[in-house]
Amino acid sequence: MKRLLRYMGAYKKESVLGPLFKMLEASFELFVPLVVANMVDVGIREGDVSYILKMGGLLALLALIGLTCSLTAQYFAAKAACGTGEALRRDLFAHIGSLSYREIDTVGTATLITRMTSDINQVQNGINMTLRLLLRSPFVVFGAMIMAFTVDVSGALVFAVAIPLLCLVVFGIMLVSMPLYKKVQRQLDKVLLTTRENLIGVRVIRAFNRQESERRVFEEENGLLVKLQVFVGKISALLNPVTYVIINLATVAVIWVGAKEVDAGVITQGKVIALVNYMSQILVELIKMANLIILISKAVACMNRVDGVFSIQSSLKEPADAGREEEKDPEAAKGEARAEAPAVEFRNVEAAYAGSGNPALSGISFAAKKGETIGVIGGTGSGKTTLVNLIPRFYDAAKGQVLVNGRDVREYPLEELRLLCGVVPQRAVLFKGSLRENMRWGRPDADDEEIWEALGTAQARDFVEDKGQGLDMPIEQEGRNLSGGQRQRLTIARALVRQPRILILDDSASALDFATDARLRRAIKEDTEDTTVFLVAQRASTIKNADKILVLDDGGLAGAGTHRELLKTCQVYREICLSQFSREEVERDEQ
């Protein structure tokens, strides 16, 4: 909650004025029963129509002032709530963006989405209603009790008994329901995760005809969510009937006591009506208070979940000198003394994923010179993607060193390091907008000529020109209006626009035919002479002409060398080639 209060600190004026105007509205509301009592005791008893009209006008004036105060209070409360919610979302989004792959993998995408949307919405609603009612309702309740004592002490004693009893019921139910709302939100995460998996994997589900089984899984998760919501709803639902029973019994007691005193001539009928009106005001406010407490319980539980994400710190730490001006220039960062250092070097590197028992990589050592093409191949789960993800520091090595231009990647400011790298991940992701906007993700100041040049190198220029819209061609979300091969070529072009010193292609040409793949590799080799290229591939044909090939097997480096050398010295690589080429081709390449 401390974090929430810090965010609300930007809206101190609104947070004060909102409750203040609500209490002002409540103050005028407390005078209404007294005006009605006078109307009955003076105007109606004596038949004074002018007095009745005067009191009626006073009631209308009190209503108008109360409405003005209420609207003003709601304006300030909404401004503080929406502003705080907007700031929370903005900062949470930025914080999530600062987390490494390790933390995002640990927390889970579905949970992060829930906390960015549903949880912050609940917090926003909680702030809004708290500023409007948290002070107003208790003020009216205790104000009505005090006013009741000014009317009649004997009748007001009923209030003194009823109000503590009502508070006991309200706060007791709140203490029980708050932990249950946390369970509801956690189960909502699971439902969202199931929904997300089904929507993303809808083609796979239909291809394997698993609709019914997935529907059953969803129904189980959703059913559990419903059960939790119904259970906590039943507990929360006790608030209204219990408070109604207590208030109505108290009202009966007030009328009973008041009737005896009227009969004895101690008080007037108008004062009895005033006491009943005060009891009705208490009833209304306590119902509001009960609902507010339910909302606050949800908001507190949700804010704790949001705060839990804020409390996660990235495992990737910026170096202490990250802000120095001379370190912001990639050219200056390399230094003269390191001019002859390898472009990329791994020294006995070990890497592991969070919660994994065994390391994903272990004992990896190699060096890649400037302008070399490095092929990375191995079986599924051998650590190919993990290896290249260590270069731009998406993950940190658990042991050993990863060096770029002779400098440990941990010494680079992250922005500077990633300016040196162009990464094309396994899954081709494009963003909604024009082709030009997508290409400028690589470099915002790239001109059209540079973009067309990158499209040509990526073998994408022909199909872009065929579309007839040039760089203004619209791209749907995730590139849904393009084929898999077209998306891959555009993501490669986007990386090339950056003109990186290190280009990482993580199995990014898997959807291309052999001829296009060959043209792409040849064009990259010719157009990026000074760029060190890492080609991660499943197909040996993609990397066979690389200057150096790294063969990974179960997280270890099984071999390193050229295609011909590895066929002779690395059994793992030879088996991969034999599974993809004929024996005659393999034997011919060995010679």
Number of domains into which the chain is organized: 2
* Model confidence pLDDT, tens digit, residues 510-567: 778 888 888 888 888 888 878 899 999 888 888 888 899 999 988 899 999 998 889 8
pLDDT at 328: 45
- The arithmetic mean of pLDDT across residues 157-185, rounded, is 79
327 within a domain of the structure (yes/no): no
What's the pLDDT score for residue 72? 94
pLDDT for 357? 65
Is residue 504, in this structure, part of any structural domain at all? yes
Domain final residue pick, 291, 310, 329: 310
pLDDT value for 320: 65
pLDDT digits (tens, 9 = 90+) for 125-150: 999 998 988 888 888 888 888 888 88
Angle between helices 239-263 and 269-310 (to 10 degrees): 160
- Could you tell me if residue 334 is inside a domain? no
The dihedral formed by the CA atoms of 380, 383, 387 and 392, expressed in degrees to the nearest 10: 70
Residues 282 and 357 in one domain: no
487 and 528 assigned to the same domain: yes
Task: Give the single-character DSSP code of 474.
Answer: E
Do the domain assignments include residue 125? yes
- How sure is the predictor about 480, in pLDDT bands with cuts at 50, 70 and 90? confident
Sheet strand arrangement including 361-368: 361-368, 344-351, 399-404, 407-408
Lowest mean pLDDT across 199-208, 312-321, 479-488:
312-321
In a domain, 324, yes or no: no
Return the SS3 of 525: helix
Q: What is the rounded CA–CA span in Å between residue 49 and residue 142?
A: 34
**By the 8 A CB rule, do 344 and 391 touch?**
yes
381 φ/ψ angles, rounded to the nearest 5 degrees:
80, 10
Q: Are 378 and 448 members of one domain?
A: yes
Tell me, yes or no, whether 161 and 31 share the same domain: yes
Q: Is 408 helix (H, G, I), strand (E, B) or coil?
A: strand
Identify the CATH number of the domain in which residue 485 sits. 3.40.50.300
Which whole number is the average pLDDT over 382-388?
89
How far apart are alpha carbons 438 and 40 in whole angstroms? 75
At 278, which CATH number?
1.20.1560.10
Average pLDDT of span 378-401: 88
Closest CA to 177 of 301, 296, 297: 297
Q: Of residues 297 and 64, which shows the higher confidence score? A: 64
Percent of the chain with pLDDT over 90: 19
- Based on the fold, state whether residues 493 and 544 are members of the same structural domain: yes
Reported as a single tens digit per residue, the pLDDT across 207-259 is 888 888 888 888 888 999 999 889 888 887 887 788 788 878 888 888 888 88
Q: Are residues 306 and 343 in the same domain?
A: no
Distance (Å) of CA 252 to CA 154, 257, 270, 467, 486: 14, 9, 16, 80, 78
- At 403 the three-state DSSP class reads strand
Task: Give yes or no: residues 51 and 165 share one domain.
Answer: yes
- Copy the structure tokens of residue 359: 């390391």
Residue 321: predicted pLDDT: 60
- pLDDT, residue 550, reads 93
pTM above 0.75, yes or no: no
By residue count, the chain amounts to 591
Indicate if 285 and 362 belong to the same structural domain. no
Mean pLDDT of the chain: 85
The pLDDT value recorded for residue 349 is 92
Residue for token digits 């770029």?
Answer: 404
Q: Are strands 502-506 and 474-475 parallel, antiparallel or unpaired?
A: unpaired
Say yes or no: 259 and 375 in one domain.
no
**C-alpha–C-alpha distance, residues 72 and 429, integer Å:** 47
290 and 375 in a single domain? The answer is no
Q: How far apart are CA 464 and CA 434, in angstroms?
A: 12
Where in the sequence is the domain holding 114, given as residue range(s)? 2-310
Q: Is residue 321 part of a domain?
A: no
CA distance linking residue 33 with residue 53, whole number of Å: 16
pLDDT average, residue stretch 302-323: 79
Q: Tell me whether residue 319 is in a domain.
A: no
Mind listing the pLDDT tens digit for each residue in 324-351? 444 444 444 443 435 567 889 999 999 8
- State whether the Cα torsion 65-70-73-74 is positive or negative: negative
The whole-angstrom distance between residue 342's C-alpha and the CA centroid of its chain comes to 39
Confidence of residue 376 (pLDDT cuts 50, 70, 90): very high
Which 8-state DSSP code applies to residue 338? G
Mean pLDDT of 310-320: 79
Per-residue pLDDT band for 40 (boundaries 50, 70, 90) equals: confident
Looking at the structure, do residues 68 and 191 belong to the same domain, yes or no?
yes
pLDDT for position 147: 85
Q: Would you say residue 318 lies in a domain? A: no
pLDDT by residue (tens digit) across 103-127? Answer: 887 787 777 888 888 889 999 999 9
Q: What is the mean pLDDT of residues 405-417?
A: 89
Same domain, 181 and 232: yes
Q: What is the pLDDT of residue 586?
A: 79
Q: Which of 38-42, 60-64, 490-494 has the lowest mean pLDDT?
A: 38-42
Three-state secondary structure string covering 19-65: HHHHHHHHHHHHHHHHHHHHHHHHHHHHCCHHHHHHHHHHHHHHHHH
The answer to whether 127 and 80 are in contact (CB under 8 A) is yes
